[in-house]
Chain A
C-alpha cells in the first residue's frame, strides 16, 4: 500500500473519486489476471475497461514498473504474461502524453525507487520521440542511487524500442559510455545486441577498448551478432578483437575467442595459437575450442602442431587452391569426368579453414547439367560446413533430380541442425527468420579466392 501511495504522488494522481486505492488495485488486478488470449480488439476493450475503473494511472504505472499485477490480492501480485503486458501498455498509453511526461519528470527529479524508474523507462519506450540519452541519464541516476538492479530489463526494453525506431540513435551511446555504471553499461550492450542491426554492431565495435572493464560485455554482445558483420568488415573487426586476446582479464580474452569463432576469419588463427600454451587452463580451453571451431581441425593443445598445420593450409591456399577452383569453374565447359570432379571437390572440401571463401567455388558445380555433379556439390558443401551455402542449397530443393534434392536436404539439415522437411518454402521461411540477412550473405561466385 505504501508503494501505491508513493506512486500516487509520483504519478500526479488527481482526485481519487469514489473508489479507494485498494479497490482500484483489486479491479486492475482482476482485469489484468484474466487468462484468455487477447487480440487487438480485446486489448482495446480491456484498456477502456481499466480506465473506466477510475483514476487508475498510479496503479497501472506501478504494474508497469514491477511487471506484476498490483499488490492488491492476498500475497502480492503475479507475473504479467505477454498478453497482459500488451493490455497494460495500451492502458498506460491512454493516460495521455501530458500525464506520462509529468510522471517521467517526477521520476527524473527523484529516481529513488527501482519500480518508479523502471516504470518511467517503460513509459519512455512507449513515447515515439523519446531519446536514448534521456533513458541513459535516468538509469545512471538510478544506479548511482543503488537501485540499478531493478531497472536493467526496463532499460533494455526502452533502448531496444528507441534503437529500432531509429538505428542512428545507437550512436548516442558512445558519448555517454564513459559515465555509465556496470549495470547500465551492461544493459546498453545487451540492448545493442538485441537490436540486431548493422548500425548497432558498428556502435559496439566503436565501444571496444574505451573502458577495459566493460570489454568482455561488449565482446559478448558482438559475438552474438557476428552474423550481421559483412565479410568485408569481418577481417577488420577480427583484428580489433584480436588485441583483446592479450587482455589481463581472462574473461575478456575468452569473450574475444567467442567473437573470433563467430567471425571465422582464418587470419585470426595465428594470434589464437600464440595464446594456446597459456597458464590459465580456462583460457587455454577456450582458445583450443576456438581454434578447432575456426579450423575444422581436431589437433591437440600443442602450439607447434597448430603452427605447422596452419603453414600447410596457407601454402595450400596459395599454391593449390586457385588452380582447383579454376578447374571446378570450367568443369561444365571442359566436360570434366565425374571421377575428376570427385577428386577436386574432395580436395577443396577438406580445407574447412577457408570454408566461407570456398563456398563460391562450388557454384558452377551446383548448376552443372549432370545430376551427379550437383549431388557432389551438395555433399562437398555439407563437408565444408559454411552457412553461406544455405541459400544455394535451399534453391536446390526444387531440383528436377530427386537425388540432388535429397543431397541438398541432407546438407541443409547438417549445416543448420534443424530437421525440416525437404520443402523449399519451409526452408526459405526458416532462412529468412534465422539466417543472416541477404544483404550480408554474398551470392555465390562473388567471393574471391585470393586473400
Chain B
C-alpha cells in the first residue's frame, strides 16, 4: 500500500513539472512572438515613416520645378493633396522676403506624416542677368547678334565656337521687344509682365533659349553722379594729344577735333556736366590698366561716325559709361546721344532714362542698359557674363539655400 501510494505521488509531481515546463515554454514562445510582432510593427512604422519622408521630399522637388517654370510653388492642399504612388502630399509656399521663399512639403501614407522645409532664393531676372535691357523697348534690327562670353576665362575670340561663344546673351525689357529678320539672340528674351507687353518676331529669327513674359518689372537703379571741382571745358585741338587722369575729374564739356587723341588713365572718375563730343577722325582711349574708369555724362554724349574709342584693357568690368540724361520719348533728340563710332568697346553702357541707338560700327563687349534701346542692322553685342550677379537664367533661376526636416513633425496620425 505504501509503495503504491508512493508511486502515485511521483506520477503527480511529474505531471505538475510537465505543466510548469509547458507553461514556461508557452510564455517564452508568447514573449518571442510578441517581440517579433513588435519588431515587425516597428519596421513597418519605419518604412511608413521613410515613405512619407520621401513623399515630402518629392513634393519639394515638384514645387521647385513649379517655381522654375513660373508657378508659385504651391502644390495641392491639405484638403486636396497631390497623389504620388500610394502617398499624398501638398506643398505650401510663403515668401520670407522679396527673394527668398519657404516651401513646406507635407506627405502622408495615410498613417504617418512627414514635413520638410526648403528655402529657395529667386535669382531670376536681376538686371545684371541681361546682356542688353531696354526699360521701355528693345529693338533688334536685322542681322543684329547678341551672345555672351566670360572675360575671366579669356578673350571673346578664344571662346567662340561657330557662330557664337556662350548662350547667355539674354535680352530683357519691361515693355516690348522687337526682333527683326535674321537677328540672333543666343540666350533668352524676356518682355514685360503686363498684358499689353509684346515680343514681335520677324522671319529667320533665332532665340536659342526661347522667350516669355517677365513676372515682375525689373528696376534700373538711378545714377548718382559724383561732384568734383570743375576744371572748365576740355578741348583737344586738331593733331593734338592730351592725357587726363588718374583721379577724380570734372569738366563742363569735352570736345575732340579731327586727328586728335584724348587718353584717360585709370583709376578715374570723369564727370562731364554738359556735353561730350568725340568728332570724326579723333580717338578716345581708355587705359584702365591701373584701375577702373567711370565716365559720368549728364548731357549730350556723341561718339560721331568715324571716331574711335579704344580700351587698353579688354576687361569690360573696368570701364563704365553712366549717361544720366533723360529723354521724354524714344524719338527725343535732346540730349543728343550718338554711338556711331567705329569701335570695339569693352565696358558697360548704363543709360536708364535715355533712348540709345547703337550703330553697326560699334561692337560692344560688356553690357548695355537703357530706356529705349535699338541695335542697328548688323550690330553685335557680346555680353560679359563676368558682369552678372545672378544665375544668368532669367525667369527660371531658383537656387536652394536651406533644407531641413521639421522637428516634431514625424508624428503618427493614426
Q: Is the CB of B195 within 8 A of A416?
A: yes
A416 to B306, CA, bound (A): 47
Nearest Cβ on chain B to A245's Cβ, whole angstroms: 15
Within 8 A of B (CB), among A241-267: 251, 254-255, 258
Question: Is the interface on chain B under 10, 10 to 19, 20 to 34, or 35 or more residues?
Answer: 35 or more
Interface of B is mostly: loop
Q: List 9 A-B contacts (CB under 8 A).
A: A74-B304, A78-B302, A84-B333, A182-B204, A190-B178, A217-B201, A217-B205, A223-B198, A417-B195
A contact residues around B331 at 8 Å (CB):
80-82, 85
B179-203 vs A, Cβ < 8 Å mask (1 yes, 0 no): 0111000000000011110111111
A contact residues around B340 at 8 Å (CB):
76
Q: Is the CB of B203 within 8 A of A213?
A: yes
A18-42 vs B, Cβ < 8 Å mask (1 yes, 0 no): 0000000000000000010000000
A75 to B210, CA, bound (A): 39
16 additional contacts, CB 8 Å, given A152-B141, A292-B71? Answer: A35-B333, A75-B279, A79-B333, A85-B331, A182-B204, A183-B182, A185-B181, A186-B203, A189-B202, A220-B201, A221-B200, A224-B200, A282-B209, A288-B69, A289-B69, A417-B195
Closest to B204 in A: A182
Q: Is the CB of B357 within 8 A of A79?
A: yes
A150 to B278, CA, bound (A): 25
Q: Is the CB of A285 within 8 A of B204?
A: no
Q: Is the CB of B378 within 8 A of A255?
A: no
Which A residues lie at the B interface, using CB under 8 A?
35, 74-76, 78-85, 148-150, 152, 182-183, 185-187, 189-190, 193, 213-214, 216-217, 220-221, 223-224, 251, 254-255, 258, 282-283, 285-286, 288-289, 292, 298, 300-301, 387, 416-417, 434
Q: Is B74 part of the contact surface with A, judged by Cβ < 8 Å?
A: yes
Identify which of A217, A285, A434 contacts B69 (C-beta below 8 A): A285
A289 to B211, CA, bound (A): 11
Identify which of B71, B143, B198, B336 contacts A298 (C-beta below 8 A): B71
A187 to B202, CA, bound (A): 8
A contact residues around B211 at 8 Å (CB):
254
B contact residues around A251 at 8 Å (CB):
201, 205-207
Identify which of B180, B198, B257, B333 contacts A80 (C-beta below 8 A): B333
Q: Is the CB of B66 within 8 A of A298?
A: yes
Task: Indicate whether A190 sits within 8 Å of B200 (C-beta atoms), given known contacts A82-B331, A292-B71, A298-B71.
Answer: yes
Q: Is the CB of A182 within 8 A of B200?
A: no
B contact residues around A223 at 8 Å (CB):
198
Q: Is the CB of A301 within 8 A of B69?
A: yes
B contact residues around A81 at 8 Å (CB):
331-334
Inter-chain CB contacts under 8 Å: number: 137
A contact residues around B199 at 8 Å (CB):
220, 258
A223 to B307, CA, bound (A): 42
B contact residues around A416 at 8 Å (CB):
195
Closest to A153 in B: B141
Task: Indicate whether A149 sits within 8 Å of B212 (C-beta atoms), given known contacts A193-B200, A220-B201, A300-B69.
Answer: no
B123-141 vs A, Cβ < 8 Å mask (1 yes, 0 no): 0000000000000000001
Which of A80, A148, A187, A217 counts the most B-chain CB atoms under 10 A from its CB?
A: A217
Q: Is B151 part of the contact surface with A, judged by Cβ < 8 Å?
A: no
Nearest Cβ on chain B to A44's Cβ, whole angstroms: 20
Nearest Cβ on chain A to B411's Cβ, whole angstroms: 28
Q: Is B297 part of the contact surface with A, judged by Cβ < 8 Å?
A: no
Q: Is B280 part of the contact surface with A, judged by Cβ < 8 Å?
A: yes
Q: Is B338 part of the contact surface with A, judged by Cβ < 8 Å?
A: yes
Q: Is the CB of B70 within 8 A of A149?
A: no
Nearest Cβ on chain B to A13's Cβ, whole angstroms: 25
A214 to B182, CA, bound (A): 12
Nearest Cβ on chain A to B62's Cβ, whole angstroms: 5
A301 to B61, CA, bound (A): 13
A83 to B328, CA, bound (A): 12
A255 to B307, CA, bound (A): 41
Q: Is B258 part of the contact surface with A, judged by Cβ < 8 Å?
A: yes
Q: Is the CB of A76 within 8 A of B305?
A: yes
Within 8 A of A (CB), among B319-370: 329, 331-334, 336, 338, 340, 357
